[in-house]
Each structure stands twice: as C-alpha cells, then as structure tokens.
Amino acid sequence: MDTTFEPRFLSPALFRLRVQTPKIKEKKNMELVQGFPLLYQQFTALFKKNLLLSWRNKSATFLQLFSSFFFMFLLFGIEKATESRTKTSTGFKTVTNPQPMWEPPIPPCEDKFYVKMPCFDFVWSGNDSTRIANIVTAIMINNPNRQIRSDKVKSFRTEEELDDWLFRNPMQVPGALHFVDVSPSLITYGLQTNSTPVVRRGHYEDPTFKFQIPLQIAAEREIARSIIGVPTYNWKVGLTEFAHPAKAAFSAVATVGPAFFLAFTMFGFVLQITNLVAEKELKLRQAMNMTGLYESAYWTSWIIWEGIITFISSLLLVLFGMMFQFDFFKKNNFGILFFVFFLFQVNMIVTIAGFPYKKSISAFLRFIWSFFPPNLLAQAVNLLSDATSTPEALGISWKGRSKCPPDTDDCVMTINDVYTWLICLFFLWFALAIYFDNIFPNVSGVRKSVIYFFNPGYWTGKGGGKVEEGGMCSCITEIPQQDHIVPDDEDVLEEENIVKNDVKDNTVNPDVAVQIRGLGKTYPGTTQIGCCKCKKTSPYHAVRDLWVNFRKDQLFCLLGPNGAGKTTTINCLTGITPVTGGDALVYGHSVRSTVGMSGIRKIIGVCPQFDILWDALSGEEHLQLFASIKGLPPALIKSVAQESLAQVKLTESAKVRARSYSGGMRRRLSVAISLLGDPKLVILDEPTTGMDPISRRHVWDIIQNTKKGRAIVLTTHSMEEADILSDRIGIMAKGRLRCIGNSIRLKSKFGTGFIANVRFGNTNGGQTPSRTPEDTSSRHHEDVKKFFKYHLDITPTEETKSFLTFVIPHDKEGVLKDFFAELQARQSEFNVSDIQLGLATLEEVFLNIAKQAELENAAAEGKMVTLDLTSGKSVQIPVGARFVGVPETNSSENPGGIMVEVYWVQDDSGSLCISGHSNEMPVPSNVQPLPSAPQLLARTNMLRQRRGPVYGLVYDSNQIIAAQS
C-alpha cells in the first residue's frame, strides 16, 4: 500500500492569535510640505509645544513672571528701613529758609537713646568753689521749661575724679562740665560729651545738638550772670543751620538693585537653560531631529517664546516698581526702563559682577567688558539711579536717553549706548549659540565641521551622496583601524561580496533601500592618570566591518545579545552616533555627510529603543507635533493623528498625558510616531518591549500591514517576533554579522536538526511534552523507541505518558521520507495518534550563534571561568567550552581520563555563564584535546605545585558527539 507522508511542521505562527487591525487609508500620493512653508509649520508646532509645556508647568511659569514682585518687595523693605534711619535729619532735605532754635533746654538723661540707670542729666567738677556751686545751682533752676532736680546732678572736686567715675560708670550721663574759678573776673569751663550719632527705631540722635549745645549755652549764661552780678541778665542764643540743597540719599535701587535685578532675570534664564538642556539630555531634541526638524525652526521657536515671556516679565517688573513708589521707576521714562530690562534679559548668556565705566578705565577695556550683558545692566541702573538721586531730579526722558544725567562728571556711556550694545549682542550671542551648538559634539560625539556653513549643500539641501561633503566628525582621535575579518559563514560572505561588487561598480541595486558598506564604530580607549599609576583601557569595537543590504518591501530583523552592536548600527544609520569606519547609503544618501543625513531624516521613521516623550504632552499632541515637523499638510494633521491613535488602540487615551501611560502604551505611541508621513525606511528598535501579548500581536499586525512600499529594520529579543515578521534575519554578536538568511535557512543550518513529537492515542489529548523525563513501561513506548533507535540511531530527549520527543540530526534528512512513511503505516501497531515534525527553534539558533561568538571572544581574550565539579574539584575552563576533561584522572579503566559536559546560559548582559554540568563520564579513547590543551596541562602541572588553579582540557564537541554515537 502506498503511503503519502505529510508531517505537520511546528511553527510559532501556528499559535499566533489573530487580532483585527483597523486599516489606515493609504496615502502614497501625500505631498509633504517643504521649504519655507515647512519651516513655518515646524515653528508653529514647536511654539505651541512650548506654550503647552509652560501652561502645564504653572509653578515655574508663575515664578518666572512674578518673581519681580518679591524682589521689589525686598527692595521696598530695604528702602524704607534706610529712610527711617535718616527721616529726622535735614541733611537729605532741601532747606531754603532755616528757622533758628532758641535756648534749647538740657534734656533729661532718660531721653538719651542708650543709657544705663540710674542716670544723671549732667555731672561737673570744681565743687571746692562756692561760686562754682552757685553757678551750677542756677543752671539747674534756670533750665528752660524744666528745673533739674539735685539727685539728677553729681559733682566732683577735680577733673581727674570725674574722669575716673566716667570710666567706671559708662553710659550713665550724656555730658560733663569742668569749671575752674581762676579769679573774680575769670571763670573757665570745659565741656565733655560723646559726639557719636546714633539711630534707634527710625529716630536719629546727634549728641552735639541734643546735649552739647544746651549745656554750653546754660554754662555760658550762668557764668556771665555770676561775673557781672546781674542774676536776671538777658542771655538769649539761637542756632540756625545753613540753607542747603538735599544731598543724595542712600538708594536701595542704585546700591543693591543691580544684584536684585540680576537675580530676578536669573529665574527666567535658569528655567530657559533647564528646558533646553532637558530636551537635549532626554534626547527629545534628537527625536525631533530624526524626523527632519530644521535647526532654525527650533531656535526661532525658543527665541520667540522666551521673548514673549521676557516681555511680560519686564513689563511687570517696571509696573511693580511703580506700584512700590520708587523714584527710580516713577521719575524715569517708562519706555527707557522697560527696554533696559527687556534687552538685558534676552541677552542673558553669562553672569558677572558690574564693571566700573569710568574715564580712568581705558576705552579698550570698556569695549571688551561690554560684551558681558550684566555689566551693561549695572551701568544702565547706575545712570538711571543718578538721574533720580535727589528729590529735585527729574530722571531720564525718552528724548534725553542719549545724554548723561545732570551733575555726572564721570559718564562715558549713555542709555542709548547701552541699548545699542544690547541689541548688537543679542544677534551676536544668538549666532554664536547656533554655531557652537553645531560644532561642539553632543553626548554621542556628533558634531559638524567648524566651517560647515561654507558648504553650499548646507544652504541648498542638495547633494550628500559623497563622504567629502560636510563630513560629520566624531571629535575622537587616535581611533585604531579595524582589520578586515573574513566571515566564517558563507551566506554572510556572499552578502559582503554582493555589496562590495556594487561599491566597485559604483552602482546600487534599485531594490535596495539601505546599503551598508563596511560600517564600523570604535570607541577609543581612555587613559586615567592617578597617583603614581596610569591606567589605560583598550578601544572597544562596537560594530566591526558590516556589509549588508536592506531591501525594499522587506523586513530585515537584526538579532543579537545585549552589546552585539544592533542599536549602535541603528544609531549610525540615523545620525545619532558618528561612524568611524566605512559608510552606509540610505536611498542614495550617505550617513557620513551632514547634507546626506538631512535627506535621510526626511524619509525615515524611527522608533527608538527607549521612549522619547514629553511627560506633560498627551498622545494626540505628540502625534500632531511630530506630524507637523515631518511636513504633513496642515489640513491632514488632525485626521492622521486620530487614525494613528486608532491604529495603535490609543483613541481612548488620546487626551491623557504621557506621564500616565504604561510602558506598553508608550511603546505603541512611539511606533505610531515612527509611521507618520509614510516613511520609506522604518527603523524599529525593540518596539514591543513591555507590551502585553494582545498589544504585542496587534503591533505585529500593524508592522505587517505597513511593510508594503518601504523597508523595515527591526531589532528584537523576541525570537517569536522575529520568526513571524521577518523576511530576512541577521544575527550579530560582538559587533560582527554572524549569519544571515530567512528563518527556515537559519534553523536548518544552525539548528541541531529536526524535532519529532510522537503522540500516543490512549492518553489525554492536548498535553504538551514535559521537560522532566518520566520512566514508562508501556510496550508502545518501547516499540517506538526501538524503531527510532534502529532506523535513525537516536533516543528520545523527552518522554511522558503522552509524548516522545526526538531530535533528528540533519545528516539523517535523506532517510526521513521512507522512515516516516513506515512509521505512519505502523501507527495502529504503535498506537500513535499524531506525528509532528518541525525544525529547531530560532531561539536555539540564536543561542548557538551567541555561544560561538562568546567562545571566540573568550578565546581571543583568554577569558576563563571556574567550574565546580560535584566531586569537589574545581577547574578553570574557557568560556563556552562544552566538553572539558579533568586533568590527572587517567586510570586503567579510563585511560583517557574523566570529562563532563558543561551547560551554558546567557545572562541579561548577553554573557555566557555556567548553569550546570553532566555526570562525570570517560573520555573516548580516540579523541584528543584541542591543540592548546598540552600548554594548559603543562601550565596546570606547574601551577598545581604552587597550589594554583587547575586548568581543564578542552575537547572538540563534534569529535565527542561522533565518538559517542
């Protein structure tokens, strides 16, 4: 009887959950906005973004606008505190008709601001003279408006005694009189007071006028009456100050105002710099650049937005100053004040202390120092303060801005000069900011040539196919050249030769979207110089000599463990990371050219490895922003955003801010952003990370539906995802492409063979094979095992009551047709209900490739790890070694010694680590260690004498397997 064998091949696609995906209208004929309309559209979108971020960060915006009120309040407090100290003095007032002060009385000692109790109104010396005592009594009795009690006066015989008492009793008396009775017609006296003025609670006390003058007048009056013998002699003395103009009072605005104004402007400056740096460090600006953002649109949007904020804050500053009734703000022209603060804030680049603009300072130094805006602010504030320093000063009018304030002899710069400097500096600093932003390397080391603006392509946007045009520099010196390594895999070698032939013929296949030509990325080593030592690290080759084509209408999946070079390759293609070797052409544009990269960014869509989103913007606002930057027609932006949200099932969360999104929702939004504008090349770097199974398979459908008409490059750690979506797969490890081909090709070439599952009929259906073998005495099981052993010489790798699983080597492929035909014919005899045949999984291929790469790298670096045996011994083995012999275990029973099979797994970083080992087994007699084994053995014997580590003997895996079979 003829038997037709039709085994069912296992594939992850068999278990795939189908999810209904909304279709998006094809917009293949969509005309993107270009030129100046695109520049304006990008500016509008970015301006709206800045407005939304400021509105949603209300505390920072409020502080930026209204911080001037708090500084004005502090200035107001300082000003009032200063005025209270001098309000009783006429020195700061204009006196035109001074009034005399007639016979001021001696005040009580309690009126003195600072005095100790008990106190005396005055003390005197010379009490050994009766005539002097009478004079003092007359002073006490005739004191105007108040007689002085005797207990408020203290007398001494000599001046020395009085001075000694003053020394021992400070602050108990405001003044002292020293009398000397010389003759009947002559009496001399001395007056002793503290002449230091003091202030208390806003009141000013001058001891000269308050105590000294009254004592002097009283003493001279009573001495004159005593000498002439007329007790009622009229003695009237008046004191009158000179008429004088008010002198310049202390001005808080002029003295501490510049520091306060600088602090106020620093709020806006710091917030502006914080936002700019945050967008750069969080790679938000990088994400916009990858969608084709014009630098001019970015900077113009920031300048205009910050100009509006500065306009409002400067306006509020002047209004608050007028509200607090500062002469500085009331008398000077409103426009003069406003433009001083407005122009300064938009020039706020650096901060430095005020510079003295004087005639004694050379004109050259004044010129150099004027390049620092804070110095110009200090000069403007000084000019405006000098113009309002006295009550009669009128301030500076708009017409008088080109003149120096009156009574200013050392004026070398007017307000008009300050305006001119600030306006010129604004344009100077703006141009330098853009220039330095282009020539200084970013966090990835990318920068432009120092003369990039001389390249015509920078202005016209044309060209970019040649490496010489506007080279993109990495600012990294002494990068070692990479040696070309011939690929071990024939498919990789064939791919390399195809690309090299195109390069040689200077042609590109029209079906190729991206052609990578020997791409390399090397990070240089670093030198750390410490105390008495110097540590130098070797260069790190992230990508090594990569030659590959990404074809149109295909999805190329780039696999590899962490650190394999996948993301670095993508970063080189998108211009995030500068290449250090080779080149890549994306639809004819070179990644090594700034002009070429500008062209590339117009036709690509990128979903980066990590979500680059603004927490304060919603999903809908993100899509509208990136659609505007991409150049979609304004009439379609809202509809495209809505359709994109529906496509990734975020319609219900369209208005929700991104900070509230889950990780999967953020990834879906990033995928939607990458597909905006119908890009010709879509790069998806681990797009389904963090998604639940439903969302992941939904995104798979989206990717499948968008494959037509474009090339897609996908990186992932999901083997199931790569198996389902990819047309071609490339596996990288240690910076090199190790294999390339479709899923079937890689499985058949690098897998262990075919996987056969035999299911028996008398068991519960639907059970999958268990990973733990179970002993069975079933006759059918034994018959099937004997059948496989007899025809294919293999034993089951997994066994349950329901299933037997066999791994069939590739070399048995020729006999499989007849084998399975006979097995199918004997199904009833063996009680077999189902036979399934499939290839090895892609995950197995991935692990084999990664393990081999790790082994090669460990061998090149001489990396060793410790294997702890169950017998208690420990041996050092190379990373990735499978069969390892234990030295000095030779015996008559086992002349070749003992060996174990080592099991390896990969950790999160992609490195191989030991997960366990088999039982000890004898080494086959016809197998010899690898060539390096004798050297290791000699080294082992030497080190064992020194009680060092023992090094295992490495055997070829293929020889061991062949010998065992």
DSSP string for 904-947: EEE-TTS-EEEEEE---EEPPTT--B-TTHHHHHHHHHHHHHTT
CATH architecture, range 511-516+551-744: 3-Layer(aba) Sandwich (3.40)
Which one, of 310, 311, 309, 333, lies nearest residue 321 by Cα? 333
Tokens of 630: 């991409």
Calculate mean pLDDT across residues 448-474. Answer: 58
Considering only 9-23, 70-84, 534-548, 948-962, which range has the smallest mean pLDDT? 9-23
Model confidence at 407, in pLDDT bands (50, 70, 90)?
low
β-bridge partners, 836: 8, 757
pLDDT cut 90: percent of the chain above it = 15
Model confidence at 656, in pLDDT bands (50, 70, 90)?
very high
pLDDT in tens, 332-374: 888 888 888 888 877 764 333 333 444 444 555 555 545 566 6
- What is residue 910's predicted lDDT score, i.e. its pLDDT? 58
- What is residue 655's predicted lDDT score, i.e. its pLDDT? 92
Which one, of 381, 379, 384, 382, lies nearest residue 332 by Cα? 384
CA distances from 181 to 80, 131, 190, 412, 453 (A): 51, 8, 12, 64, 98
- What is residue 373's predicted lDDT score, i.e. its pLDDT? 67
- What is residue 762's predicted lDDT score, i.e. its pLDDT? 57
As a whole number of angstroms, the distance between CA 121 and CA 210 comes to: 12
| CATH value of 101-239 in 3.20.20, 3.30.70, 3.40.720, 3.40.190 | 3.40.190
Model confidence at 120, in pLDDT bands (50, 70, 90)?
very high
The three-point CA angle 760-762-764 to 5° equals: 90
Query: Does residue 142 register a pLDDT over 80?
Result: yes
CA distances from 467 to 438, 447, 452, 518, 591 (A): 18, 15, 14, 14, 8
Instruction: Delimit the domains of the chain by residue range.
Output: 101-239, 252-439, 511-516+551-744, 748-844, 862-964
Query: Does residue 606 register a pLDDT over 60?
Result: yes
Considering only 410-424, 606-620, 893-907, 938-952, which range has the smallest mean pLDDT? 938-952
b/e per residue, 266-305, with b = 16+ CB within 10 A?
Answer: bbbbebbeebbeebeeebebbbbbbbbbbeebbbbbbeeb
- What is residue 476's predicted lDDT score, i.e. its pLDDT? 46
Query: Does residue 47 register a pLDDT over 90?
Result: yes
Contact (CB, 8 A) for 385 and 260: no
Query: Does residue 941 register a pLDDT over 60?
Result: no
For CA atoms 891, 892, 893, 897, the dihedral sign is: positive
Calculate mean pLDDT across residues 838-852. Answer: 78
Model confidence at 759, in pLDDT bands (50, 70, 90)?
confident
- What is residue 29's predicted lDDT score, i.e. its pLDDT? 52
β-bridge partners, 534: 529
3-state DSSP of 330-375: HHCCHHHHHHHHHHHHHCCCCCCCCCCCCCCCCHHHHHHHCCCHHH
Long-range (24+ apart) CB contacts under 8 A made by 763-768 are: 763/801, 763/802, 764/802, 765/833, 767/800, 767/802, 767/803, 768/803
At residue 773, what is the residue type?
P
Place of tokens 């006295």: 390
Asked: is 748-844 a CATH 3.10.310 domain? The reply is no
Contact (CB, 8 A) for 425 and 410: no
Query: Does residue 23 register a pLDDT over 50?
Result: no
Phi, psi (deg, nearest 5) at residue 823:
-65, -40
Which one, of 678, 804, 659, lies nearest residue 24 by Cα? 678
Model confidence at 254, in pLDDT bands (50, 70, 90)?
low
pLDDT in tens, 853-891: 777 776 666 778 888 888 888 888 888 788 899 888 888
Pairwise pLDDT comparison (687 vs 469), residue with the higher score: 687
- What is residue 18's predicted lDDT score, i.e. its pLDDT? 39
Strands 832-839 and 912-917: unpaired
Query: Does residue 162 register a pLDDT over 70?
Result: yes
Query: Does residue 674 register a pLDDT over 80?
Result: yes
Query: Does residue 275 register a pLDDT over 50?
Result: yes
Query: Does residue 623 register a pLDDT over 90?
Result: yes
CA distances from 66 to 63, 71, 79, 268, 310 (A): 5, 9, 20, 10, 11
Which one, of 396, 384, 357, lies nearest residue 257 by Cα? 384
pLDDT in tens, 794-832: 888 888 888 888 888 877 878 888 888 888 888 888 888
Considering only 119-133, 300-314, 355-369, which range has the smallest mean pLDDT? 355-369
Contact (CB, 8 A) for 921 and 898: yes
Considering only 130-134, 161-165, 252-256, 684-688, which range has the smallest mean pLDDT? 252-256
As a whole number of angstroms, the distance between CA 50 and CA 64 comes to: 14
- What is residue 442's predicted lDDT score, i.e. its pLDDT? 62
Which one, of 705, 671, 713, lies nearest residue 688 by Cα? 671
- What is residue 441's predicted lDDT score, i.e. its pLDDT? 67
pLDDT in tens, 593-604: 878 888 888 899
Which one, of 695, 697, 743, lies nearest residue 723 by Cα? 743
- What is residue 645's predicted lDDT score, i.e. its pLDDT? 92
CA distances from 164 to 151, 161, 893 (A): 20, 5, 119
- What is residue 10's predicted lDDT score, i.e. its pLDDT? 40
- What is residue 778's predicted lDDT score, i.e. its pLDDT? 65
What's the length of the chain? 965
Considering only 385-389, 500-504, 711-715, 793-797, which range has the smallest mean pLDDT? 385-389
CA distances from 935 to 899, 929, 932, 942, 952 (A): 18, 11, 6, 11, 11
β-bridge partners, 187: 181
- What is residue 87's predicted lDDT score, i.e. its pLDDT? 63
- What is residue 893's predicted lDDT score, i.e. its pLDDT? 84
- What is residue 122's predicted lDDT score, i.e. its pLDDT? 92
Query: Does residue 790 register a pLDDT over 90?
Result: no
As a whole number of angstroms, the distance between CA 963 and CA 965 comes to: 6
Calculate mean pLDDT across residues 448-460. Answer: 70
Give the chain's mean pLDDT: 79
In 62-202 the beta strands, taken as DSSP E runs, fall at 101-102, 122-125, 153-156, 175-183, 186-193, 198-200
> Cα 462 to chain center, whole Å?
33
Query: Does residue 483 register a pLDDT over 70?
Result: no
- What is residue 728's predicted lDDT score, i.e. its pLDDT? 93
- What is residue 352's predicted lDDT score, i.e. its pLDDT? 32
Which one, of 497, 511, 512, lies nearest residue 547 by Cα? 497
